Structure 1
């Protein structure tokens, strides 16, 4: 069965093609889809599909660049361009990049199926290469627990394994091809498209790491060191810990050599409960604070990609239960998460952005009726930071505008000044905390961004014609 990826930022087109085409009839299967060019490139890197159907105009990377870069990564992958009549010239240009053909929107399903027939015939007539034993055979043996085959490879490589001669498993994440070791003869095997495992004698691994020290590998890849192996049955666990350590580059954002740290199960559980509570009470500021604290723990190496995967999937599960759909996709493993985001920091930033809608109740009109893109960005920034000190100058520097212009533009688009807007958000937040918590008035003022108790009380009274204490008492009476 030939594998297919569809790349188009219009979901209805993707779903229509997936459902309308009789893929199996022609020997094809859609294995994934992408909403932008970068995501599609990551999938090509990871899955090496037979065929990619791609739109021309997509966010982050257009279809032409995707074809060029995709061909470099996977030369045998076939591309078909999906384009509107307005992009016809681009579709023709794509033919120069080696695409199989193009379908103009709105297209007929029969047109796509006709191309599948021609591609299938072309693939049948293509001479079959004599392939060596699958390069993943050793890793398959490890995963399936075939100890006899593993022992055979170790004997052929003359790598003894015993309590007196333990082995070290090293995993390098981010390699396009294996690194040969000059001073040692490790057993090298691929574990995925860009991840390689190395088995070598404990007495040799220090020299092996030193040989990598001044190469691009140590500057661009994650190198994970597993626990010593004295029994062949320990190999699987050692490779798994080395893989987690190699993915530490995703957690910290820094390449280099890592050993897996002790798992922080209680800590991640605590953080997930904290996030769940912020979602339950619809408190975006607390949600952002929780996510920022988790981001810091990743940078400190306290969490691995295992916790990143747990965090990502947990957040996506939390929001639909609350009745809000999060427009994102679940990943099938660590590798897909790694290639989609690159770092835990980027993943967390995306989670904060994609979950914005659930916290917008009562404030939708402030952004939805604003036409100026820059003002929308300023509004979103203020909404995420209004409990911190925000000056006009800080906003001007942040968004590359003059202080006078940013004030005039904001007032024109929003209908209130920046100071008025920040004060209103703080008071609305204070009202929420007054009802939902037992915090003191002073603590609530600080939590909302007011450093002076009396100033907080005065501003609160100006907005609601009563003090914070009176508001709390009145709300409690009505419950």
Structure 2
């Protein structure tokens, strides 16, 4: 029988669940109950239950704290949250702590039975997988400590020492709900954190290994990183780290899937950090927004990894501390904290843009202050921060919920210029600034202003300024 404990500060709920639920039907017995998290934690330490059903709001120690500390104390215990509808946000947060699921109050016995059925299947699957020993907690510690001989001994014990014919391949699985790995494909697994599971498989079995996981679970919640194949165990630590970085692919791209190790050196991030630093020194909002928009695109395309996200984030946090804006500054100890806090790179960038623009604040353009229409004012503010990117009437109409025709009419009425002309003037004004302050080639300046056709850029520049970019540079330097 599987052992379960029930935790709720209302005794009648505990007794109702204990008596009203058919525990035996699903192979469970209730071995204890508690009225708060502290009592429950002692029970977990003594009994090591298979399942804990816990309320969220309780005295002394709430359910979220119990789950966090209980998982550390008893990693194999599964947690189910008992939550009222009013506490649904807490239940959702608890899922991020690695809980199995939740049941909403007032309870329907059928709902609890359904949860117990799933729990029973998961626990049975876990027991089945132990028939083929595949878990080695001490392996991860040995890899992190670079104890190559101990790693070799552990692999030899499990019959997985690399040889000249077949390489080993590290795989890291990241999710709020880590899978139970079946024992059908030879492997070794080790828990890296509450949301990351490391695995070693033979290279020729890695595709089948991943396919097996994705066929048995919801693929949309998994981000799987693949490291470099290896035969030399001294390379295991760096290959596992590469797989770990790749496993944050869902954070960087915003999509689930299987991701390969990023390159060890990324010249794109070096250029990005230089441009960011320059924009902050010069307090250039436009250059800063260009950097952020470029970074967003490079995350989506898989050109930036979680490591690059951390570098960008840390660079801007250093600015906040230096400027005394400590209320906006945050410190994360590593990639996992950053990923967990923001969820994906888009949200991280949104946060950085919002708070950095406060530091880069300047007098709003006169046109923005003169316009009285609230929506057009917001549109102008958006245009002034994003005119170096591709902006169209269609994209603005969708963002600000106006029809394209009405937006064109309203823009012309309030601003006096049509949309295309206004954008063109902003871009050429910025081009004049770059021509004066930098030695960048004309073509590159056009691209930085959002105009990627060199001949079109020079034609627009001459129409607005009355001279070519080259002539303008000669006359102003």
Q: Same fold (TM over 0.5)?
A: yes
Map 1:457-472; keep pairs closer than 5 Å: 459=464
In the other structure, the counterpart of 2:22 is none
In the other structure, the counterpart of 2:284 is 283
Which of 85, 88, 92 matches 1:69? 92
What SS is found at the alignment partner of 1:261?
coil
| Aligned partners of 1:143 and 1:236 also within 8 Å | yes
What SS is found at the alignment partner of 1:249?
helix
In the other structure, the counterpart of 2:179 is 178
What SS is found at the alignment partner of 2:201?
strand
Q: CA deviation at 1:195?
A: 0.7
CA spacing shift, 1:159–1:387, aligned 2, 3 Å: closer
| Aligned partners of 2:253 and 2:302 also within 8 Å | yes
What SS is found at the alignment partner of 1:356?
helix
| Aligned partners of 1:178 and 1:188 also within 8 Å | no
Map 1:221-300; keep pairs closer than 5 Å: 221-230=222-231, 232-300=233-301
CA distance in 1, matches of 2:256, 2:367: 42
Residue deviations 1:412-431, cap 9 Å, x none?
A: 9x886675865774565355
CA spacing shift, 1:449–1:258, aligned 2, 3 Å: closer
CA distance in 2, matches of 1:225, 1:159: 18
CA spacing shift, 1:367–1:351, aligned 2, 3 Å: farther
Specify every segment of 5 or more residues in structure 2 that has no aligned partner in the other structure, as ranges: 1-63, 71-84, 108-134
CA distance in 1, matches of 2:370, 2:328: 22
CA distance in 2, matches of 1:243, 1:382: 38
Specify every segment of 5 or more residues in structure 1 that has no aligned partner in the other structure, as ranges: 1-43, 51-61, 77-93, 98-133
| Aligned partners of 2:171 and 2:224 also within 8 Å | yes
CA distance in 1, matches of 2:226, 2:391: 45
CA spacing shift, 1:138–1:417, aligned 2, 3 Å: same
| Aligned partners of 1:276 and 1:318 also within 8 Å | no
Q: CA deviation at 1:287?
A: 2.6
| Aligned partners of 2:320 and 2:329 also within 8 Å | no
CA spacing shift, 1:185–1:257, aligned 2, 3 Å: same
In the other structure, the counterpart of 1:313 is 314
CA spacing shift, 1:335–1:474, aligned 2, 3 Å: same
Residue deviations 1:262-319, cap 9 Å, x none?
A: 2234332122112212222333333333333333433443332112211221233245
TM superposition score normalised by structure 2: 0.59
Residue deviations 1:215-245, cap 9 Å, x none?
A: 4454431222233454555443332122112
Map 1:75-154; keep pairs closer than 5 Å: 138-145=139-146, 150=151, 153-154=154-155
| Aligned partners of 1:264 and 1:302 also within 8 Å | no
CA spacing shift, 1:404–1:146, aligned 2, 3 Å: closer
Residue deviations 1:70-106, cap 9 Å, x none?
A: 3455599xxxxxxxxxxxxxxxxx9999xxxxxxxxx
Alpha-carbon RMSD:
4.7
Q: CA deviation at 1:197?
A: 1.2
| Aligned partners of 2:252 and 2:302 also within 8 Å | yes
Task: Count residues in correspondence.
Answer: 363
| Aligned partners of 2:387 and 2:449 also within 8 Å | yes
